[in-house]
Copies of this chain bind each other. A is one copy, B any other.
Amino acid sequence: MQLGKFIDLNSDMGESYGVYKYGADEKIMPYISSANIACGYHAGDHHVMRKSVELAAKYGVRVGAHVGFYDKQGFGRRFIDISPEEAYEITIYQIGALDGFLKVSNMSMSHVKLHGALYMLAMDNKEIAEATIQAVNDYNDQLEVYALPNSIFAKCAEKVNLLVINEFFADRPYENKQVKMFDWTLEEIGKPTDAGKRTLTALQNGIETICIHSDTPGAPDIVKHVCETLVLSGWTIGRGDHHKSRKNIIQS
């Protein structure tokens, strides 16, 4: 097998809350290599977190903290004007809470991904990027962070030697290489085959992880198709070990 032919497939999991079911977690988990689990701030709760960690464990899927604004009613999708200090604090709180459930399942956290409006904010806003990056780095400098390629967030992470994973959103339209995260139409997203084509193109540009949201209409079909397309194109779904060697190069 060729070195470096690994591609990570990630999805946002654990976004249910109390009686409220959300996302096709059970159908998607078998196909992905990394699950970003909500931590009770923008979605999820202590029960959903435990169940989500167990589901990830069942399929050998890596677990990362999906860190969002404290705004369940808005699902973390609207901007809240928090200070960098508070961005640091909400990141630590959420990572810690999820890590509790990983610890009792004998698992380790692999990565951190910001969610929704906080994700978009941190990609462009240096103060918030630095604060959240510092939180991740202070907590565990071996955690990977998912980011838009060439974003301010990615650069901040690289500056402190955190491993950045360049992310592409297979189920979101792109305009002028900019992801359209909100207010997209189903027509813009297109069929699963469109997502597959977009993904293959993206892989030519240094993309290291493919995200498919678990709440996109038809998400299980999209995930399945993208997964199969990747495998047929010679890719192995997963992070592989190549990031470790790269990490060593950076640190030496």
**Which A positions have Cβ atoms within 8 angstroms of B?**
17-20, 22, 40, 45-47, 49-50, 70-75, 77-82, 85-86, 89-90, 92-101, 103-104, 117, 135, 138-140, 215
Contact = CB atoms under 8 A, between A and B. Distances in A.
Contact of A96 (B73, B79, B81, B98): B98
10 contacts: A17-B73, A18-B72, A20-B20, A45-B73, A46-B93, A50-B92, A70-B73, A94-B97, A95-B100, A104-B139
Given A96-B103, A97-B96, A22 B19 contact: yes
Contacts of A100: 92-93, 95-97, 99, 139
Nearest to A95: B100
Q: How many copies does the complex hold?
A: 4
* Centre residue among A18, A22, A40, A95 by max chain B CB count within 10 A: A18
A184 to B, nearest CB: 15
Given A20-B17, A20-B20, A46 B92 contact: yes
A73 B72 CA distance: 11
* Centre residue among A19, A90, A101 by max chain B CB count within 10 A: A19
B18 A89 contact: no
Contacts of A85: 47
